[in-house]
Chain A
Amino acid sequence: MAAPIPHCTIPPHRQNTVMVRSSLAVLVIDENRIRASIIEAGLREAGHERVTVIHDVTGIARRIAEIEPDVIVIDLENPNRDMLENMFQLSRAVKRPIAMFVDRSDQASIEAAVDAGVSAYVVDGLRQERVKPILDMAVSRFNAFSRMARELEEARSELKSRKVIDRAKGILMKSRGLSEEAAYALLRKTAMNQNRKISDIAQSLVTAAGLLGPAEDE
């Protein structure tokens, strides 16, 4: 059940429309466009249609006055958090006071959010059970995004390693007349003997070859 709208009486024949309109207005402030759209998609899937995403906080007071959000989701990397918190408390543009997402007793939620790198602010007085699913969703999407970013980084460095190993193999094949297979075996053996990664050995070889002169033809 949606919470009743305060300060207004609704004629019975209009209550359906109002029920729809009482879905929460959510504002997502995140400079990271990909993550913001992941959050936005999640909110829409969960039935929240009034979602606004802002990447740049310039002129945000006016935007907040227009949007009148019930919930504001902000990433913790955003250096403007101090400005935003101050605005929520003081600005005339924010007509209803905005507080931090959780009641202070809910330590687990606070920890999960900070761990994930997200914070949320809600219009004061909004019931906890209406906000909690939004926060939980934001937390899980933030975590998913971090995982994705980590995997992407790993894939990138994997690709980079492979390229450098190929170049090192080329140098060995040319300078020592080895087959590709033998060149790789030599790299692997050297790495094992020195207790280092193959890519590190390959990098050293490439660097040394560069220093030693015009051996490389690239």
Chain B
Amino acid sequence: MSATHQITAGFMPLFDSAVLVAAGEMGFAAREGIELTLHRETSWANIRDRIAIGHFDLAHMLGPMPLACNLGLTPLASETIVPFSLGLGGNCVTVSNAVWTGMAAHGAVPDLDPARTGKALGALIRERAAAGRDPLRFAVVHPHSGHNYELRYWLAACGIDPTQAIEIVIVPPPFMADALAAGRIDGYCVGEPWNSASAAAGTGRIVTVKALLWRNSPEKVIGVRKAWAEQNPEALAALLRALHHSARWCQDPANHGELAAVMAQPGFLGLPPAVQMPVLTGHLDLGGGAEKTIDDFFLPFDKAANFPWKSHALWFYTQMVRWGHVAHTPENLAIARDCYRPDLYRSALKPLGVALPGANSKVEGALKVATPVGSAGASLVLGPDGFFDGQIFDPDEIDAYIAGQKSARTEA
């Protein structure tokens, strides 16, 4: 079959590139008439640069990254839109054994409960400060990342000011476990398998997970150069359908063995299938002999995981404002509002007759349990989407939310 569309995409060797990788490797792209060329990259900066100069039409990106590009926060940028989300959840927070021992002395138990472990970490941090010791150093993968914002959200909600009480540095995901083992950092927030890596090596403990900090929350997305999307609407729609079929395939446990084998190839993730199982099953080895299974740990498809909710983008925007990455102005808010494009997702998938959310935004934190919702076509289940501290994010009340989180910060 000769391809109608040629598409070039970049990705980072992380498990959550699976939907994009499988779209190419399992033939979903070819079935939509797409010749999909995938390029493995070594940094998010490279992805950004290669999108900007046209090497890539689109790429696997951190959820807040396209916002950062459009808001002018990056050295090089092209206007980037998000018509597809690559999944929900998947990250953990891991600390060194020494930090865990300190936390355990303040009441932490290996149950991943963010409120409990956060409280213990706060007590440890205050104890260290009183003793005149250096602040703990935590690593995240990128300043404009879900990891950075969820780590900060967790700490702030537990009374720890992440701008004062700890130091936050950037470390590439594959180096996290080594940096922790070598004592260069005391903890980190990263996607799998880089948390399980420390637990398995006996050099770290997983203390909480993204799926408990904010249930069913956004992580990686497909970022598309806006100019390309406007010039190639049919190619983009075909790709979104291919990604949809790929995501459904990735979600099905019957395919997990095959998916892990594909991702294990050196050109993709390049790690043995066994290492990938925790992210697929949600069954985590926390270190120190403790284990726990987390519902909806990582969802590549279920719970409308691929729908690019504007409320997800707007929450990232509120965190960029909160931590001083961008000023809250009507212009910036409009840029953030226009970045994620549920309209493109909906129009591409409508011909398939699949379940589609009727709204572009939702009130994040409102669904306490999994809830079937009214949608076009077949039935759809959303959520739960609660924040661990019980906060609600209503994208229609963004000013109040931003004002409220400022006061939370000063109280911390």
Contact = CB atoms under 8 A, between A and B. Distances in A.
Interface residues of A, number: 23
A85 B171 CA distance: 11
B143 A86 contact: yes
Contacts, number: 56
Interface stretch (A76-84, A137-145, A180-188): A76-84
Interface string A81-104: 111011101100000000110001
B360 interface: no
A81 B142 contact: no
B132 to A, nearest CB: 20
Contacts of B175: 79
Nearest 9 CB-CB pairings of A with B? A100-B75, A81-B43, A83-B170, A81-B45, A86-B170, A79-B172, A79-B42, A111-B53, A82-B43
Given A107-B53, A114-B55, A81 B46 contact: yes
A82 B45 contact: yes
A28 interface: no
B169 interface: yes
B393 interface: no
Nearest to B78: A104
Given A100-B75, A110-B76, A83 B49 contact: no
Interface of B: 42-46, 49-50, 52-53, 55, 75-76, 141-143, 169-172, 174-175, 184
A81 B141 CA distance: 11
A119 interface: yes
Interface in A99-144: 99-100, 104, 107, 110-111, 114, 119, 121
A76 B50 CA distance: 11
Interface string A166-210: 000000000000000000000000000000000000000000000
7 contacts: A80-B43, A82-B142, A85-B75, A107-B53, A110-B49, A114-B49, A119-B45
A33 to B, nearest CB: 18
Nearest to B182: A58
B172 A80 contact: yes
B170 A100 contact: no
A83 B142 CA distance: 7
A79 B43 contact: yes
B199 to A, nearest CB: 23
Interface in A42-58: 58
Contacts of B76: 100, 104, 110
Given A82-B141, A82-B172, A83-B172, A77 B49 contact: no
A81 B171 CA distance: 10
Nearest to B141: A82
Contact of A110 (B44, B52, B174): B52
Contacts of B169: 83, 86
Nearest to B171: A83
A110 B174 CA distance: 28
